Amino acid sequence: MSEPVSYLRVRGRPLLREVPGPTERTVVSELIPRKQEERPENGKTVLLDGLSKSFASRRVLSRLNLEIPAGQLLAIVGRSGCGKSTLLRLIAGLDRPSSGVISVGGAEVKSLQSNVRLLFQDARLLPWHRVISNVGIARTKNWRDSAAAALADVGLADRANDWPAVLSGGQAQRVALARALVSRPGVLLLDEPFAALDALTRMEMHRLLERIWNEHGFTTVLITHDVAEAVALADRVIVLRDGGIALDMPIDLPRPRRGAADTAAVSLQAQILDEV
């Protein structure tokens, strides 16, 4: 994918040259992750030190300490309202903590970070921009080339000139993922991005995320209420309860994972569910 993708426009429809780009049907065969050793070291360490956040009189997070090593895929599980999304917004710099310090790659988070990208539960594409312009929303130098490459990465190179309104839910989330990838982030935050998708699409998105994570090597924090999803994807699962960490468990299952077919995964899921 290092070749720049160039387009010929014929009546607004792109003709893809050079790189055929995986189409929807070929996605699954492409998704076998590479070996761990090949992963680039683009990830940034995320450090939370005594982090607290209160809204009015309600304390959502209290004195949270957590180190997320560079390149780790961490899943945070918890009931709704346990402060999962609040934690993610704090790491992204969208909100400020009531007390405590967050640092990403050694630098304290004081405002929005350009090397931290957040994927929302809904895709949040601008409906008045075509897919490619949505991916290149930051309009950095040569944004068309990098946006086209990111779209090819998520298997949607052929939808570059479509309006977001014609995409399916899964496709829209893949475009949102491509948009997050363009800037080569050190940390990718995912706020239940697959919750609204059907089961098959969700599994496809899991494999896609795993492959992209392997290729890019960013640190990932995935928020989910689906314990099976957490065990299927993460290196480590954390259960948030009453504003604190109730469980911190490494998941040492080999990749690619087989989900429910793996008895070890099922027993881990049971342990996590006990704590949620």
Partner 1 sequence: MTAGRAGEKGVLMATRLPQSRSGAALTFLASWALPLGLLVIWEIASRSGLLSMRLLPAPSAVAAAFLESVRNGTLLTNAAISTERALKGLIIGGGIGFALGILAGISRLVEVVFDTSMQMLRNVPHLAIIPLVILWFGIGEEAKIFLVAIGTAFPLYLNTFHGIRTIDVRLIEMARVYGLGRLALFWRVILPGALPSILVGLRFSLGIMWLTLIVAETISSTSGIGYMTMNAREFLQTDVVVLGVIVYALLGKVADTITRLIEARALAWHPAYRMNPTGEATS
Which stretches of the chain bind partner 1, using CB under 8 A? 11-13, 92, 94, 112, 114, 117-118, 120, 122-130, 133, 137-139, 161, 163-169, 172, 179, 196
- The minimum distance between CB 84 and partner 1, in angstroms, equals 17
Q: 191 vs 210, which CB is nearer to partner 1?
A: 191
Among 30, 44, 72, which Cα is nearest to 204's?
30
Q: 23 vs 114, which CB is nearer to partner 1?
A: 114
Q: What is the DSSP string of 53-66?
A: EEETTEEEEEEEEE
Q: 165 vs 261, which CB is nearer to partner 1?
A: 165
Q: 11 vs 58, which CB is nearer to partner 1?
A: 11
Q: 118 vs 232, which CB is nearer to partner 1?
A: 118
- The minimum distance between CB 91 and partner 1, in angstroms, equals 12
- The minimum distance between CB 138 and partner 1, in angstroms, equals 5
- The minimum distance between CB 217 and partner 1, in angstroms, equals 21
Q: Angle at the Cα of 200 (from 231 to 38), degrees rounded to 5?
A: 50
What contacts 24+ positions apart, CB below 8 Å, involve 123-126?
123/164, 123/169, 123/172, 123/173, 123/175, 123/176, 124/176, 125/164, 125/167, 125/172, 125/175, 125/176, 125/179, 126/164
- The minimum distance between CB 11 and partner 1, in angstroms, equals 5
Task: Report yes or no: 137 and 76 within 8 Å, Cβ to Cβ.
Answer: no
Strands (DSSP E) found in 150-257: 187-191, 219-224, 236-241, 244-250
